[in-house]
Structure 1
Amino acid sequence: MIATLKYIVLASALLFGLGATVYVHVQAETVGIQKIKEAEAIWIDVRTPAEFESGHVSDALNIEYQNLGSAIVSIAPDKNAPINLYCRSGRRSEIARQTLLNMGYTNVINKGAYDMVKKMVTQN
């Protein structure tokens, strides 16, 4: 009985150890896939042109949040296209996100404040 209990404990430890390893591996793959998806996404800076000129994410388009609804169809006709939005604080990009969601876009992310986005992009 004690030998069987030791075997069960040992087997459980091995199983849980393998499970953790697999989970960590899947997490690393998921993070890598997420970075690839972000790189393929359309980046839109919804700040003013003056704010955009003071610094922006490489390859980002500058469309002020109040103009995004009329401009997006020519930029992203596919409503499932991944779109990342940012502004100075995240408030305007959230308004823009809601506009796009209301228009039927499904893959829109408010990345928030430019200062945070800039740090995130330079770390990648």
Structure 2
Amino acid sequence: MKYILILTAALAACNASEPQVVPQPQASQTATIAKKVILIDVRSPEEFQAGHLANAHNITHDQIDKKISALTTDKNAEIHLYCRTGRRAGIALETLTKMGYTNVKNLGGYDDLKNTYPAQ
């Protein structure tokens, strides 16, 4: 019985002294943690279907206040807007700013952007 107690105490001491290993993220994992940009095409659904930037969501400028929460409720989220010329994106930017969104950009018009950004 005495040997069992000694053995149990020794095993407990060994386990207690082992350092806890906390895995560190790999370089490939940290790249996927990068900040996500929400890209919104504020043109009509017909314009969107005719061509849009890759990964863009379609919410018309006059519906942005009602539908933005489907994409994010984070008021600090990075949101980029575009339309045909930049005018409707400007209206959407103003709406989102009034709603408290702080990191919104108007990228301008689709025709100018499709040469820089991948189109879909």
TM-score by length of 2: 0.68
Equivalenced residue count is: 85
What is aligned with 2:72? 76
What is aligned with 1:16? none
What is aligned with 1:95? 91
Provide the alpha-carbon RMSD of the alignment: 1.2
What secondary structure is seen at the aligned counterpart in 2 of 1:84?
strand
Matches within 5 A, 1:100-119: 100-119=96-115
What secondary structure is seen at the aligned counterpart in 2 of 1:110?
strand
Deviation at 1:118, TM superposition (A): 1.0
TM-score by length of 1: 0.65
What secondary structure is seen at the aligned counterpart in 2 of 1:119?
coil
Deviation at 1:74, TM superposition (A): 2.3
Identity of aligned residues (%): 49
Deviation at 1:120, TM superposition (A): 1.7
Structure ranking higher on relative contact order (CA contacts 8 Å, 6+ apart): 2
What is the CA deviation profile of residues 61-108 of structure 1, one whole-angstrom value per residue up to 9, with x for unaligned ones? 001100000111221110100000000000000000000000000000
Q: For residue 39 of structure 2, what is the amino acid of its counterpart?
A: W
Q: Using the alignment, how far apart are the partners of 1:120 and 1:90 within structure 2?
A: 16
What secondary structure is seen at the aligned counterpart in 2 of 1:65?
coil
Matches within 5 A, 1:13-92: 40-92=36-88
Runs of 4+ more than 2 Å apart: none
Q: Using the alignment, how far apart are the partners of 1:100 and 1:73 within structure 2?
A: 11
Q: Using the alignment, how far apart are the partners of 2:100 and 2:46 within structure 1?
A: 30
- Specify which structure has the higher proportion of helix: 1
What is the CA deviation profile of residues 15-66 of structure 1, one whole-angstrom value per residue up to 9, with x for unaligned ones? xxxxxxxxxxxxxxxxxxxxx76xx310000000110011001110001100
